[in-house]
Chains A and B, each alone.
Chain A
Amino acid sequence: MTDPVSGLIYVFIFPGFLFLFIYALFLAFLDRKIAARMQQRVGPPFFQPFADFIKVLGKEVIDPAGVDRVVFDAAPLVALAAVMTAFLYVPVTGNSPLAFQGDLVVVLYLLSLPTLVLFLLGWLSRNIFSAIGGIRAVTQLFIYEVPFFLALLTPALMAGTWSVSEIVLWQQKNLWFVFLQPIGFIVALVGLQAKLERRPFDIPEAETEIVAGPWTELTGRRLAVMDLTIDLSLVVGSALVAALFLGGPLIPWAIAPAWLEGIIGFLLFLIKTLAVLLILSSIKVATGRIRIDQLNDIGWKYIAGASIVQVGIVLVMNYLWVYA
């Protein structure tokens, strides 16, 4: 990145933090609206997530007795910062100017942080519901994280690079990974759903069992920031899946003016993330919550198994065609 002004614009305005914020609230609205229509409800107006955010932000911040206030305040911000940073490496209009070899690992690592923060919050809250929720969050992390990582690393294996942007470039030259690695795509979607703690994986915050899990003692701006973090994770996660499996914002043909290519790339980004969201919302509506022991069974028996099979298939394909 040569020009510092365009760099700053990239990080802070478009397609950086400001766009991310707006798009996250829009996706949150769309998620709720789709779910509502499928459940024969009316659903919220489009500004509802924003209104909720402002409202919760303005509420009183309550410190549970005996809580370490500094850590309790800082933890949600750490999660927010991690997710926002992760977004900078995901291609939106074209390739990310910040891309480097191995940014895929960084993105995955940063996306794991909110879960750890949730565990920390649950542990700090000094509340039995929060503690159980926090433990469940970490248990769940250990179950879905392995297949999720394996599924997202298989495109890297085949493309021979650890950079999200270069994986997108590889798909531009060859074929989308959703056709080459359908099992990996499904595992990635399931893992993303589990990472975002959406049904059927909302075990850590199951409201009818443990009130709100780690969220129970969060109030005011802490709750607002944590809610926003999950909304942002939805964007980053679906953008990541779109980039790794659906070819990202690039098309196989060159288009004359660069700005037009940028706009088309951006539109492709919107369409693909919305498609991923539609799948995630459908899963959410069509299922109930499973138990943590059932998730343990399903996760290690089938989801992890499927991802390992996918890795094996990719290795064979690499041996036969890609590097032959």
Chain B
Amino acid sequence: MPEVVIPIGPHHPALKEPVNFRIIADGEKIVRLELDLSYNHRGVEKAAEQRDFIRVLPLLERVCGICSHSHATAFAKGIEEIMQIGIPPRARYIRTIIAELERMHSHLLWLGVAAHLIGFDTLFMWTWRDREAVQDTLEEMSGNRVHYNINEIGGVRCDLTPSQVNAALARLPLLEERVNTYVDMVNSEETLLIRFRGVGRLSKEEALRYGTVGPTARASGIDYDTRKDDPYLAYSEAPWNVVTDSNGDVFGRTRVRVRELQESLKIVRFCLENLPEGPIRVPAPKNAPKGEILSRYEAPRGELAHFIRTNGTDRVERIDIRTPTLANWTSVAMCLVNRNIADIPVIVAAIDPCLSCTSRITLVDNQTQKAGVIGFDELIRRYRSRNPEEV
């Protein structure tokens, strides 16, 4: 069979979000992959520069539905550092609880999606059912299932009542039992092993070279977790371990994620049981002093970095969001070569891509090694030069 081009996306049943790549395949084997990122440009960063900090928080939550708390916390953490205010311990613990619950619901969702992509719908249904327990807890605590909006500059928006804490603690045993089941299933279920083992393997050196982060890097044996390496919130106080795996393939990434679920449960239980008394926020000044900060945060998908520059007003002068998915994309393109067409969905899914986070334009020129953001006029000029007949 000659080489064929298979378009995947921007709309495709395997994709929940728009991304566009073209697979060049020889029969069932993939020869190479052409990635076309940023199908959908949303202008979040520009919009964030035009609002004051309070209004930026809900905006940044909408960068991504799954890791909404990650973006808001990374931003709030950065601004608080520039303002040099420390948030009260109770607020730190509440933020940690929400962050870990978010990681749990994200990982459970991922496990279900990965199972669905290999056609194992039973696991998909089960994990999404159990994920509801996490979602219910989040809804009880914050009022929302997805965009919790718990953060404020200087603390959190609402307090946890003792009954909320007890209700959350009451749900943990069930979740622990189910998560242990999933750990067993991932390690022993034949239908998962046959599709995950040896698929999309990244050695430790490759994982480092392509700059992977999060569970993708940890599955290749890289002990890199912002929560341990640069502790924030309550992570230095809670008992937990960085999960790594030596497999480096989709199987390893799955194992890392299910064991991270266990670690998250430990953190949530610790924080709920040791919730300090006291205020939940300190008053924050309206304006931030002039400054620059790189705020790092371990999102469910890996290290999330917010670069924030303030200029003494109540707005940011520049915010640049580097999402974990962007850091992991190159490794996907390398993993796919010489694999089977049937492995595309699961390899792509193994980095847990969050395309809505990633779709912002940064241009790297290969010849001059220059990186920069291109403007709207330039975008239109390039579009016209590429598609002259449509002008």
With contacts A209-B14, A209-B342 taken as known, whether A39 is within 8 angstroms of B125 at the C-beta atoms is yes
CB–CB B345/A209 < 8 A: yes
Q: Mark B112-126, 1 if CB is under 8 A from A, else 0.
A: 000111111111011
A138-172 at interface with B (beta carbon < 8 Å) = none
Complex Cα distance A206/B119, Å?
8
Complex Cα distance A124/B195, Å?
31
Complex Cα distance A202/B343, Å?
15
Main SS class of interface, B: helix
| CB proximity of A34 to chain B, nearest CB, Å | 12
B6 neighbours in A (Cβ, 8 Å)? 128-129, 132
With contacts A132-B341, A291-B343 taken as known, whether A39 is within 8 angstroms of B191 at the C-beta atoms is no
B140-154 at interface with A (beta carbon < 8 Å) = none
| CB proximity of A210 to chain B, nearest CB, Å | 7
Of the candidate stretches A11-19, A65-73, A110-118, A282-290, the one touching chain B is A282-290
Q: Mark B1-13, 1 if CB is under 8 A from A, else 0.
A: 1001111000011
B281-326 at interface with A (beta carbon < 8 Å) = none
| CB proximity of A130 to chain B, nearest CB, Å | 12
B344: nearest chain-A partner, CB-CB: A209
Q: Mark A179-217, 1 if CB is under 8 A from B, else 0.
A: 000000000000000000001101100111111100000
Q: What are some 24 contacts across the A-B interface (CB < 8 A)?
A: A40-B125, A40-B126, A41-B125, A128-B5, A128-B7, A132-B6, A199-B119, A200-B119, A208-B345, A209-B341, A209-B344, A209-B345, A210-B341, A287-B119, A287-B120, A288-B191, A288-B195, A289-B118, A289-B119, A289-B342, A291-B195, A291-B342, A292-B28, A293-B340
B192: nearest chain-A partner, CB-CB: A288
Q: Which residues of A contact B (CB under 8 A)?
A: 38-41, 128-129, 131-132, 135, 199-200, 202-203, 206-212, 285-294
Complex Cα distance A131/B6, Å?
11
B371 neighbours in A (Cβ, 8 Å)? none
Complex Cα distance A289/B192, Å?
9
B341 neighbours in A (Cβ, 8 Å)? 132, 209-210
How big is the B interface, by class? Answer: 20 to 34
A132 neighbours in B (Cβ, 8 Å)? 4, 6, 28, 341
| CB proximity of B199 to chain A, nearest CB, Å | 9
B228 neighbours in A (Cβ, 8 Å)? none
A211 touches which of B12, B28, B118 (Cβ 8 Å): B12
B122 neighbours in A (Cβ, 8 Å)? 38-39, 285-286
A206 touches which of B7, B121, B191, B342 (Cβ 8 Å): B342
With contacts A285-B122, A286-B122, A288-B120 taken as known, whether A293 is within 8 angstroms of B28 at the C-beta atoms is yes
| CB proximity of B366 to chain A, nearest CB, Å | 29
Complex Cα distance A41/B341, Å?
31
| CB proximity of B264 to chain A, nearest CB, Å | 23
CB–CB B119/A291 < 8 A: no
Known interface pairs A132-B28, A211-B12; 17 further A-B residue pairs with C-beta atoms within 8 A, sorted by A's residue number: A38-B122, A39-B125, A40-B126, A128-B4, A128-B5, A206-B342, A208-B119, A208-B345, A209-B14, A209-B341, A209-B342, A212-B13, A287-B191, A288-B118, A289-B342, A291-B342, A293-B28
A208 touches which of B7, B117, B123, B125 (Cβ 8 Å): B117
Q: Mark B182-195, 1 if CB is under 8 A from A, else 0.
A: 00000000011011
B129 at the binding interface (Cβ < 8 Å): yes
Complex Cα distance A132/B14, Å?
16
B345 neighbours in A (Cβ, 8 Å)? 208-209
Complex Cα distance A24/B363, Å?
56
CB–CB A202/B121 < 8 A: no
| CB proximity of A71 to chain B, nearest CB, Å | 23
A129 neighbours in B (Cβ, 8 Å)? 6
List the 9 closest A-B pairs by CB distance, nearest first. Answer: A289-B119, A288-B120, A39-B125, A208-B14, A288-B191, A288-B118, A291-B342, A208-B345, A288-B119
B115 neighbours in A (Cβ, 8 Å)? 288
A209 neighbours in B (Cβ, 8 Å)? 14, 341-342, 344-345
B14 neighbours in A (Cβ, 8 Å)? 207-209
| CB proximity of B342 to chain A, nearest CB, Å | 4
Complex Cα distance A212/B345, Å?
14
B333-353 at interface with A (beta carbon < 8 Å) = 340-345
B14: nearest chain-A partner, CB-CB: A208
B126 neighbours in A (Cβ, 8 Å)? 39-40
A210: nearest chain-B partner, CB-CB: B341
Complex Cα distance A73/B358, Å?
44
A202 neighbours in B (Cβ, 8 Å)? 119
